Structure 1
Amino acid sequence: MNSPSSPAEPGAGGASADVDRALLAALSRDGRASYTDLAERVGLSVSAVHQRVRRLEQRGLITGYRATLDAKVLGLPLTAFVSITPIDVAQPDDAPKRLAHLSAIEACHSVAGIESYILKVRVASPDALEHLLQEIRAAANVTTRTTVVLSTFYEDRPPI
């Protein structure tokens, strides 16, 4: 059986896998690319590209399409990573559930190491960050360690 991480069907040649990878790479950079544009890039007919993209969606390699928002334009110029550690190690490990209501938390990653989770947050100001940290500590009964991002050179890079 083929794994979701390999684009080509079982038994398919290298060229088929290369075409699928090219389609995935193109769509990861521009999810609004037309089938005509994609067909020109990979050298197939529009209908063949449409079928391949539909198959990639059905197999779970393409999980959705989304708009990428500019946090600065939205008034959220400050990005920080907040590492959290439970105050009481005997407490239930339910921090993601306890923090889900905080929309300033963009991502929550379970990690190995001293901390239990690392949160990526976006806020309007240092004052807003301090307020968010207080909310995180109270909601999840955790200590926090915060790193403020000064510059982001690349983000959301496609894995292909």
Structure 2
Amino acid sequence: MDRFDRKILAELQRDGRQSLTELGERVGLSLSPCHRRVRALEDAGIILGYRARLSPTELGLRFSALVFVTLREGHQQAVADFESALPQIAEVVEAQRLFGDPDYLLHVVTVDLPAFQQLYDEHLSRLPNVQRLTSTLVMKRVIQDRPLPIPTTQ
């Protein structure tokens, strides 16, 4: 990856909807070389996709919680069963497996506290191999959807 690729990545993180012509102008490349570089970054799996960022509040999703999950067992099948069940719960917008205790951190969004309680009781607590759930409410999102820092060298 050279400086043009890094500029392209920074620009696309800033605005993924800009045209290739605009992108080329911003990074100092003509259309064809810019397009070839973007395609190569996509083919290499560096650019994973493009999507719209939505406002949770405007969609009525005003409640956000972090849920820490401890599993009963840590063997491969227990972990696989838990992880394969997570995508079925749309309100889990992010899930991270952690080292140590707890085993997972889930970011959950719902319309309100009663909806979260129902989700917790009917779905989260029934996930395979769950021993303990601990929740904390998100008061305010200070940093969100931050672009990744692009290393200057690899």
Give the shorter-chain TM-score range.
0.7 to 0.9
Alignment of 1:1-160 (within 5 A): 8=1, 17-86=2-71, 88-89=72-73, 92-93=78-79, 94-134=81-121, 135-140=123-128, 141-159=130-148, 160=150
| Larger displacement relative to structure 2 (116-125 or 142-151) | 142-151
- Kept in 2: contact 1:78–1:122 (CA 8 A): yes
Question: Match for 1:144: what amino acid?
Answer: L
The percent of aligned pairs where both chains have the same amino acid is 36
Deviation at residue 108 of structure 1 after TM alignment? 1.3
Deviation at residue 90 of structure 1 after TM alignment? 6.7
Could you list the per-position Cα deviations for residues 14-65 of structure 1 after superposition, in whole angstroms to 9, with x for gaps in the alignment? xxx1111010000011111111111111111111111111111111111111
Could you list the per-position Cα deviations for residues 102-124 of structure 1 after superposition, in whole angstroms to 9, with x for gaps in the alignment? 11111111101211111111011
Aligned partners of 1:119, 1:142: CA distance in 2, in Å? 15
Aligned partners of 1:95, 1:74: CA distance in 2, in Å? 28
Aligned partners of 1:112, 1:53: CA distance in 2, in Å? 35
| Larger displacement relative to structure 2 (90-99 or 133-142) | 90-99
* Structure 1 alignment gaps of length 5 or more: 1-7, 9-16
Higher Rg of the two aligned structures:
1
Task: Report the equivalent of 1:13.
Answer: none
**Normalising by structure 2, what TM-score?**
0.86
- Kept in 2: contact 1:23–1:53 (CA 8 A): yes
Aligned partners of 2:44, 2:86: CA distance in 1, in Å? 32
Aligned partners of 1:52, 1:77: CA distance in 2, in Å? 40
**Normalising by structure 1, what TM-score?**
0.83
Deviation at residue 74 of structure 1 after TM alignment? 1.1
